[in-house]
């Protein structure tokens, strides 16, 4: 086998973004050699970058379909790559356009019939392939993978599957030439902090559990904080309560364009350096305002839905969970270990925090 970097010399993605780590180069090399690749790497380590390298910034040989678990994530990827000049289509059940593009962002269910009929793309990317274990959608994922035609390569990405070797062995039993790439080193190591360990004496005028918890977290030097909640309504109400109760000695100044994107309700919270983040927000509000402000360290607390945990494109110093379950179809569903692992994986900012 040639050295991992040998066939990557002329990728514009390398010149324009960053030099890839060895594990990313290894994964791309396997793809270039015609193999399927299962990648296990920590949240925020750069799994999507593997696809971007392989595709040479959207100029890939043959069509690639990049699947994600939710429509909101598909819309986000579509907007992100189109903003970089890529020719990208989308297929999410409720939206279908530009399906002859070299890159299609999709939910996996929209591709199942195509795969079963043997009409697969050059590369099928399954981002967050831990969905194989999902009670509702796992069977569709399993069928799509098992029925993918031989000419379609698979790139499967996750950071929260305990047994990726078994997945590789399953692919090999299906007659596929599969390799796996493991990168378990986190960009920032994690430390557990229990709520009872926060000793700051919160002023009595700060009312409510989560406003007081946020005040303690910030006073102990553990901010900024990302707080996950089970539902959109809880996300907005918790963020509003925290913004209303926390002292705000340094209000955030928003531009006219930022106010237009988020609306007055969210702009008021942002002035207190608090935000909420869920799939009901527009892409412009999430990716154009909230995420850049969070990455720049301008927000103290971001409250996000658990359902969008896979699609959050930023990390903060600390992560907390407001519940250990969520509601689906009138049932209360306990969080699974891989879901908790993914959310806690957003703790710690590379190059800023020594620990998360």
pLDDT (0 to 100) of residue 308? 64
Query: For residue 104, how many C-alpha atoms fall within 13 Å in the half-sphere facing its CB?
Result: 24
d(CA 291, CA 306): 16
Strand runs labelled E in 198-300: 225-229, 274-277
Q: Is the previous residue joined to 183 through a cis bond, with omega within 30 degrees of 0?
A: no
pLDDT (0 to 100) of residue 18? 66
Angle at 349 between CA 343 and CA 355, to 5 degrees: 85
- Helices 232-245/209-219 angle, 10° precision: 60
Angle at 254 between CA 321 and CA 320, to 5 degrees: 5
d(CA 310, CA 328): 18
pLDDT (0 to 100) of residue 310? 66
* Reduced DSSP (H G I as helix, E B as strand, rest coil) percent helix, strand, coil of the chain, to 5: 40, 20, 40
First and final C-alpha spacing in the chain = 38
Residue position matching structure tokens 């977290």: 217
pLDDT (0 to 100) of residue 260? 94
d(CA 97, CA 75): 12
The whole-model pTM stands at 0.78
Phi-psi region of 20 (alpha: psi -120 to 50; beta: other; left: phi over 0): beta
Q: Consecutive 10-residue runs of the chain (356 residues): their mean pLDDT?
A: 42 54 94 96 85 91 92 84 94 89 94 88 94 86 93 93 90 95 81 80 87 91 91 92 93 94 95 92 87 91 81 80 79 79 76 70
pLDDT (0 to 100) of residue 80? 86
pLDDT (0 to 100) of residue 351? 67
Pick from 178, 156, 161: which is nearest to 169 by CA?
178
User: What are the structural domains of the chain?
Assistant: 6-183 (3.40.50.300), 195-344 (3.40.50.300)
Written as six digits, the tokens of 189 are 């190591």
């Amino acid at each position: 086998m040639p050295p991992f970097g040998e066939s990557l010399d002329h990728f514009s993605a390398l010149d324009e973004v960053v030099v890839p780590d060895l594990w990313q180069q290894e994964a791309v090399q396997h793809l270039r050699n015609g193999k399927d690749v299962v990648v296990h790497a920590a949240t925020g380590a750069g799994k999507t970058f593997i696809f971007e390298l392989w595709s040479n910034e959207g100029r890939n040989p043959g069509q690639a379909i990049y699947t994600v678990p939710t429509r909101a994530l598909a819309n986000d990827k579509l907007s992100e790559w189109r903003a970089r000049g890529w020719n990208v289509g989308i297929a999410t059940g409720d939206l279908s356009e530009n399906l002859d593009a070299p890159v299609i962002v999709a939910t996996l269910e929209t591709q199942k019939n195509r795969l079963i009929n043997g009409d697969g793309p050059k590369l099928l990317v399954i981002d967050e392939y831990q969905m194989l274990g999902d009670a509702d959608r796992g069977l569709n994922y399993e069928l799509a993978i098992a029925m993918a035609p031989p000419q379609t390569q698979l790139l499967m990405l996750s950071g929260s599957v305990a047994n990726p070797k078994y997945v590789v062995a399953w692919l090999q039993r299906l007659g596929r030439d599969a390799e796996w790439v493991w990168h378990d080193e986190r960009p920032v190591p994690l430390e557990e902090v229990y709520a009872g360990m926060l000793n700051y004496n919160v002023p009595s005028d700060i009312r409510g559990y989560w406003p007081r918890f946020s005040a303690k977290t910030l006073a102990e030097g553990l901010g900024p904080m990302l707080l996950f909640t089970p539902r959109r309504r809880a996300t907005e109400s918790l963020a509003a309560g925290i913004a209303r109760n926390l002292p705000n000695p340094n209000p955030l100044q928003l531009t006219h364009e930022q106010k237009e994107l988020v609306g007055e309700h969210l702009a008021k919270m942002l002035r207190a350096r608090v935000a909420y983040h869920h799939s009901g927000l527009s892409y412009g509000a999430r990716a154009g305002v909230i995420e850049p402000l969070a990455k720049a360290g301008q927000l103290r607390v971001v409250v996000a839905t658990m359902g969008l945990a896979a699609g959050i494109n930023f990390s903060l110093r600390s992560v907390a969970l407001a519940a250990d379950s969520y509601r689906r179809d009138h049932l209360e569903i306990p969080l699974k270990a891989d879901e908790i692992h993914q959310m806690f994986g957003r703790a710690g900012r590379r190059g800023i925090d020594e620990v998360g």
